[in-house]
Structure 1
């Protein structure tokens, strides 16, 4: 993925350099008021723009002023998406230079509200909507995309959007947001990126009764018809975009695990909810050990929630613990789960355990509640992936603090309204001894003379770098060991200054450096596993760095 190839992408699979109004409506090429005098004459822009020529920096400052005047985060989201559809270079300049301010606006937590209202705030199409009605025509629809050399696809069927549930076609905000982070945080060229929503209906009665709902007004298709639709989709992607990496995003538990298992060797792909969440959480646990003085093989982790995220974290933890010397059985014994029916154990009555829970169903008496599980198991870490707001109550958190000098508590559910506890609650109830991380951002917390900066266990620390590394080496598969490598790389980039503030992740201002470091190590792992199809350059880091997209205007003459 050489930089020169990325620079030529604008003409790949598209028409030659547009002129006049066509150029001004091409978001990848448009420079707005930054077109030079010579460009205005040569490209038929004279008179279509006001006379003054502005620099990119001046445009950025004006955009920031307009953005900051918006009264709500949703209005800011709408402004940014409108800017993205008008001028991608300017959009990414704003995003990249002010990533801490912009991240909560383009992704969690604001993207959750944006998805809920996606139909009403819909302005211009972005990405592809492929419905079950298009069975037999998916390859044809993929070819409607104006750029032929797509390298990065994020796809959802909208069944489990964040912690909000089944939003059907409204879930498009997730692929759009994730791909904007690929570009801002890892330099994947925006022209390589394609967001896709697969619309198979929705089981959300409210949406189906909404006369303005933008998706199919029908119950979700399941079973063989769904599987055949997905099989056709994967085959079509391989045919139309043979160099693309496919990221599965926000699929329901009933489909997510088996789609990953059945397709990961067929097409270069991964599931961010399972593997990306696992990697970022494991990195947080590794960072926490530098505060607690513990080690991975001595942990007892209690998860609230036994879906994609929780079991994904546990699976990667098991891999890391086995590397540290434990047997697989010993490693799995470190991980315990509480789901909607209580502690996951072998002899539990009720519904049969889902396949992905069975490896973590241990021999233990049934326990009904999280509080009772904490008392019985005495965990060193409590991880929330349940979407149950405030499930980590004061008595539970205080008990964790009584059991551990530095209790590890990760409230990872998104958006903010679904977090199992807030940062302020966690620090106050433990007298500042907690090692805390969350899925959505929380403000710093002042407690006595100390100010704690809670770490955000955001997948953005992982998936952009993993994707960049896979593309850079032409990986044919994304393996679990690549995510383990990514976790260890991320943990190694947490500095003593971060730890002193209680933060187990680097500052977001370092995200490009983090993504580059992860990409390098992922590419090395791909070469080690024999999964790279491109030759390994003499200086892998320099090669990947020079391929990363920078939002600066190119001369159009």
Structure 2
């Protein structure tokens, strides 16, 4: 395996592996991972062994007290460790106890980041085994606060920082990264971090967090993941005045300067890593996000999680919710508060799925979906002043400024919030939706929790327990009239890791809308009767690796069907193949 070869050349210890076991043209080691993602057999004798001290300081190979007596002798670790020999399970138990003692979420985040820098496999073991507890720590909502304070908590750089200083040298910068075999890049320019706005260079917390989920939840090898922040300055005055700010101290570059840097970056990525590297755009502002997706969607393997990932997970939630609220997709009327990347992305995917199911033209199915932005209902009389991406949603209707009035006029059966503004689904709004629906579907998707359009408690209380509710950030179960309601979390973590894995194992060269629909259908299909009985429209995150394998298989199948897959021949059982390709955080045995 190429990566293992490289690790060995770089002075890592020898791992026990079985070079004779191969799958799909690659090598499968005894832990079963990476078999689909490597094209080269290991040459077992091309090996050098690290000395003990450097081995303990290498996060990828460090096992702490879990080195056996034999390994301590073989790798010069005697005296460098206390005499006790531990297991990974015991280490996990101790660390979880320590993390649970912290009262402040940011302290938990820092503890997890420290662990990742010290012992990579143990970090992922904790995350895989305690996903529901730790997901809010390493990702939303805590990652938002981490980005806000990134300058103060910054210790050791993770990922690549490409600033305007590197213009003309981006390819050289990419070559400074030690890994050559990169499969997934998550890149941000920090302009619209969650609902927190422009955090500039400190947005790096987002790509780092996203990629740790690619590994923990989707099984993509950590060594093949690369977080990147493109720093073109910031318009955040507070950061520009902050003595601890780690980015360029200048206003944001726009126009030609910005376009040229992004173009150089996208060209360099393809040049350095080939056309099968997935580039995920993350937390770009609306005016850039849509343009970048449209510009590079036909020439590169690109995906925007804010536009497409959010859309897939929400569509999956809506499709699953039909079992509780009845009817088909086309029977429902949708009203969105928020007409940015997320809102229009979700709306478009719902319209696409509706068109696929009913064979009606896309222009017709879009008419079932209404959007409200900061200036009121998006209607045809506003078309001249609307941004390009909002125009398809400008339907015939008299203008309505107030959101509550829009709710009363449109009478939606599904209410979706993607506004980034907290508490906008007021008591009056929720009661109005409940007045013309027996079981209203309410999705308050804005992150972090403080920006959520309403709380789970408000949704259940104001609808007298009739709402089907899901949110972007986690909420605790709610008791109403003696019944416990478990709110679903419409979390992109359900989708992008499995989608990424499906793209990697099929060697896809483009992301097609049909692949996104396949991912949504796969996720909706994972919701069980037991989940529905609790009012849940998403499966529990504790099963996320199995869910990711199912999504990966459906996405890969669609890539093969569309002729976009390059990894041939197609594996017979794609679910088993996806599972066999997943990174395992279990410790390796060293010879």
Q: Same fold (TM over 0.5)?
A: yes
2:72 counterpart of 1:49: no
2:47 counterpart of 1:29: no
1:539 matched residue in structure 2:
573
**How has the CA–CA distance of structure 1 residues 434 and 123 changed in structure 2, closer, same or farther, with 3 Å as cutoff?**
same
Q: Compute the RMSD of aligned alpha carbons.
A: 1.4
1:459 matched residue in structure 2:
492
1:486 matched residue in structure 2:
519
Post-superposition Cα deviations, 1:459-501, rounded to whole Å, max 9, x if no partner, equal: 0110000000000010000111111111111111111111111
2:241 matched residue in structure 1:
209
Return the offset for 1:8. 5.2
Alignment of 1:375-414 (within 5 A): 375-414=408-447
1:10 matched residue in structure 2:
7
* Mapped partners of 1:275, 1:12: distance in 2: 39
- Please identify runs of 4+ aligned residues in structure 1 that moved more than 6 A: 12-15
1:255 matched residue in structure 2:
288
Post-superposition Cα deviations, 1:417-443, rounded to whole Å, max 9, x if no partner, equal: 000000000000001110110000000
Task: Work out which of the residue numbers 83, 88, 91 in structure 1 matches 2:120.
Answer: 88
2:466 counterpart of 1:433: yes
* Mapped partners of 1:9, 1:112: distance in 2: 35
Partner of 2:442: helix, strand, or coil? strand
Return the offset for 1:280. 0.4
Return the offset for 1:20. 2.2
* Mapped partners of 2:369, 2:305: distance in 1: 21
Post-superposition Cα deviations, 1:515-556, rounded to whole Å, max 9, x if no partner, equal: 000000000000000000011012222222111011111122
Question: Does the Cα contact within 8 Å between 1:14 and 1:147 map onto a contact in 2?
Answer: no
Post-superposition Cα deviations, 1:94-137, rounded to whole Å, max 9, x if no partner, equal: 11111111111111111111111111111211111110110111
**How has the CA–CA distance of structure 1 residues 123 and 98 changed in structure 2, closer, same or farther, with 3 Å as cutoff?**
same
Question: Does the Cα contact within 8 Å between 2:3 and 2:181 map onto a contact in 1?
Answer: no
Question: Does the Cα contact within 8 Å between 1:27 and 1:88 map onto a contact in 2?
Answer: yes
Runs of 5+ unmatched residues, structure 2: 13-47
2:149 matched residue in structure 1:
117
Question: Does the Cα contact within 8 Å between 2:11 and 2:50 map onto a contact in 1?
Answer: no
Partner of 1:195: helix, strand, or coil? strand
* Mapped partners of 2:330, 2:263: distance in 1: 40
Question: Does the Cα contact within 8 Å between 2:471 and 2:490 map onto a contact in 1?
Answer: yes
2:366 matched residue in structure 1:
332
2:192 matched residue in structure 1:
160
Return the offset for 1:65. 1.4
* Mapped partners of 2:97, 2:236: distance in 1: 38
Task: Work out which of the residue numbers 145, 170, 177 in structure 2 matches 1:145.
Answer: 177
Partner of 1:550: helix, strand, or coil? coil
Partner of 1:207: helix, strand, or coil? helix
2:407 counterpart of 1:371: no
Return the offset for 1:28. 1.0
Alignment of 1:119-198 (within 5 A): 119-198=151-230
Post-superposition Cα deviations, 1:274-324, rounded to whole Å, max 9, x if no partner, equal: 000000000111111110112101121111110100000011111101112
Return the offset for 1:449. 2.6
Question: Does the Cα contact within 8 Å between 1:10 and 1:191 map onto a contact in 2?
Answer: no
Post-superposition Cα deviations, 1:333-369, rounded to whole Å, max 9, x if no partner, equal: 01111101111111138x8100000000111111001
Partner of 1:194: helix, strand, or coil? strand
Task: Work out which of the residue numbers 315, 334, 340 in structure 2 matches 1:282.
Answer: 315
1:292 matched residue in structure 2:
325
Runs of 5+ unmatched residues, structure 1: none
2:290 counterpart of 1:267: no
Return the offset for 1:52. 1.2
TM-score, length basis structure 2: 0.92
Question: Does the Cα contact within 8 Å between 1:6 and 1:547 map onto a contact in 2?
Answer: no
Return the offset for 1:47. 1.6
